[in-house]
């Protein structure tokens, strides 16, 4: 598929690849499932019980900067290259990512974005995820054979603008060089419902807008059509023709915004605030935490 790799592939397409025994060095499948503690699910344990045949497990907490106090922050080029190489992924592999969340997509867009950031555009999201795969009656398995390691070279050259730091977001409050879009639920964005992380209160970054991540998919967990996505951006007063930066709780579901903007043909790749609200609440002064709640911790 080369440089024309589709951002989304269907369960039917992937099932056909399996039937033709094409899963291997040129086509790798990754289960990227991860859950918040409140969800009471363990992605790695569930993978050991059932997954798409030929898939490997991608742990966003392991392939991360483990020296950071914040969750699953981006790893170095070297760490990413070693991690995916150990999963049998080379620079000529087409990678298909999915997760088993009830949403149809929760963490897979983060891994899709990571591959692209590290210079590997040959990556696709399985539309509808494992939920839809099972619903359509495609095969699953509970055994895992680790692929032969491959050589992978990672580089973020020419893509440093795809990642925003705390300092970038702080500067942007006055500079307004890009639109900050928060994909957490409206209630957390407004400060009306609690955050899932202890010691972090809800609220939002000054000037940011809210587009809840689960609104990018329909009731069946399938990505909305391009036309529907464009209407959602317009309704949310987010201009696809201007720079966009996604934020969420910890930089995971923010990548749904990047995927949606990409599908809409946005002229500039949307960026991600990697630390997102968890970092912002921890570091920002009180006047930069906008909330309808009565007080900050």
Question: Catalytic residue positions?
Answer: 248
| Alpha helix ranges (H) inside the chain | 11-19, 43-49, 77-85, 108-117, 129-135, 166-175, 186-190, 226-235, 254-263, 276-283
Q: CATH code for 8-136? A: 3.40.250.10
SS3 state of residue 30: strand
What is the DSSP code (8-state) at residue 199? T
- Per CATH, which fold does 160-288 belong to? Oxidized Rhodanese; domain 1 (3.40.250)
C-alpha dist (Å) from residue 258 to 64, 68, 229, 253: 19, 23, 12, 9
> In angstroms, rounded to a whole number, what is the distance separating the alpha carbons of residues 26 and 88?
9
Which two tokens mark 67? 């020296």
> In angstroms, rounded to a whole number, what is the distance separating the alpha carbons of residues 97 and 27?
11
pTM score of the predicted model: 0.95
CA neighbours closer than 13 Å in the CB half-sphere of residue 220: 10
Please give the pLDDT value at position 292.
Answer: 86
Which two tokens mark 264? 């809409």
> In angstroms, rounded to a whole number, what is the distance separating the alpha carbons of residues 193 and 156?
36
C-alpha dist (Å) from residue 120 to 36, 80, 159, 198, 200: 28, 11, 12, 35, 34
- Looking at the chain, which residues constitute the CATH 3.40.250.10 domain(s)? 8-136, 160-288
CA neighbours closer than 13 Å in the CB half-sphere of residue 202: 18
> In angstroms, rounded to a whole number, what is the distance separating the alpha carbons of residues 118 and 34?
21
> In angstroms, rounded to a whole number, what is the distance separating the alpha carbons of residues 59 and 64?
9
Nearest to 96 by CA among 3, 183, 23: 23
Per-residue pLDDT of the chain (297 residues; tens, 9 = 90+): 434 689 999 999 999 999 999 999 999 999 999 998 888 999 999 999 999 999 999 999 999 999 999 989 999 999 999 999 999 999 999 999 999 999 999 999 999 999 999 999 999 999 999 999 999 999 999 999 999 999 999 999 999 999 999 999 999 999 999 999 999 999 999 999 999 988 899 999 999 999 999 999 999 999 999 999 999 999 999 999 999 999 999 999 999 999 999 999 999 999 999 999 999 999 999 999 999 875 544
């Amino acid at each position: 598929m080369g440089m024309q790799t589709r951002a989304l592939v269907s369960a039917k397409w992937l099932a056909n690849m399996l039937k033709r025994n094409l899963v291997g060095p040129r086509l790798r499948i990754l289960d990227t499932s991860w859950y918040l503690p409140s969800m009471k699910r363990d992605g790695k344990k569930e993978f050991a019980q059932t997954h798409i045949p030929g898939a490997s497990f991608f742990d966003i907490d392991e392939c991360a900067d483990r020296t950071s106090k914040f969750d699953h922050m981006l790893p170095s080029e070297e760490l990413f290259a070693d991690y995916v190489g150990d999963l049998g992924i080379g620079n000529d592999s087409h990678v298909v990512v999915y997760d088993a969340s009830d949403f149809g997509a929760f963490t897979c867009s983060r891994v899709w974005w990571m591959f692209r950031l590290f210079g590997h555009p040959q990556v696709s999201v399985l539309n509808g995820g494992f939920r839809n795969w099972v619903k359509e009656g495609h095969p699953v398995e509970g055994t895992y054979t680790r692929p032969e390691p491959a050589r992978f070279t990672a580089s973020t050259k020419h893509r440093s603008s795809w990642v925003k730091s705390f300092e970038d977001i702080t500067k942007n409050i006055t500079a307004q060089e890009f639109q900050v879009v928060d994909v957490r639920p409206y209630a957390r964005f407004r400060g009306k419902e609690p955050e899932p992380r202890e010691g972090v209160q809800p609220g939002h970054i000054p000037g940011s807008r809210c587009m809840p991540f689960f609104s990018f998919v329909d009731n069946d967990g399938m990505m909305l059509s391009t036309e529907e996505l464009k209407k959602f951006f317009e309704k949310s007063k987010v201009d696809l023709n201007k720079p966009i930066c996604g934020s969420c709780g910890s930089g995971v579901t923010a990548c749904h915004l990047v995927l949606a903007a990409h599908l809409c043909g946005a002229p500039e790749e949307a960026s991600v605030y990697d630390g997102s609200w968890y970092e912002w609440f921890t570091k920002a002064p009180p006047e930069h935490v906008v909330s309808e709640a009565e007080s900050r911790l």
